[in-house]
Amino acid sequence: MKKIILFLILAIAATFTATAQQTKVEVSEIVELMSILARTAGYEEYANDLAGQYSKDTEAWFAPYKEHAAVALARDVRAKYGIGHERVMNMAVHLDIDNGKIVLVDFYPDIARCLEKYVDN
């Protein structure tokens, strides 16, 4: 019983003396682009309207690009390899935007050769 009381006193003391940590919130352009690409390519898991007006605005803005090579590639990758859900974001960590162009970073050479006609490297 004494151990429990001591633990509770220490826990309460720690709560009051703990300093708040600063959390830095950022938006990744490449993550946003990949999710919009998946949505434009028709991935059902990216079609939820959880963002309200943002979803409507992005759909309207990117509608003219439904037949773009990147959207076609996203459809092909999904059809051939079943890519979807978190795997779209797994691909995003291997991409970057450099001077307005999407480039491959830290990628496997064999995969890079397959995708080089779609992105600048």
- Position 117 scores a pLDDT of 62
Domain membership of residue 77 (yes or no) is yes
Q: Is residue 31 part of a domain?
A: yes
Within a domain: 39: yes
CA dist., res. 55 & res. 3, Å (int): 53
Q: Is residue 45 part of a domain?
A: yes
Residue 6 counted as domain residue:
no
Quote the tokens at residue 24.
Answer: 């830095």
Q: Which domain range does residue 105 map to? A: 22-115
Residue with the two structure tokens 């940590």: 21
Instruction: Look at residue 5 and tell me if it is in a domain.
Output: no
Residue 95 lies in a domain: yes
d(CA 34, CA 49): 16
Determine if the pTM surpasses 0.85: no
Q: Is the pLDDT assigned to residue 85 strictly greater than 70?
A: yes
pLDDT tens digits, 45-55: 988 877 788 88
Tens of pLDDT, residue by residue over 20-40, are 567 788 888 999 999 999 999
- Which residue has better confidence, 11 or 71? 71
Q: How many domains does the chain have?
A: 1
In a domain, 7, yes or no: no
* Other CB atoms within 10 A of residue 43 CB: 18
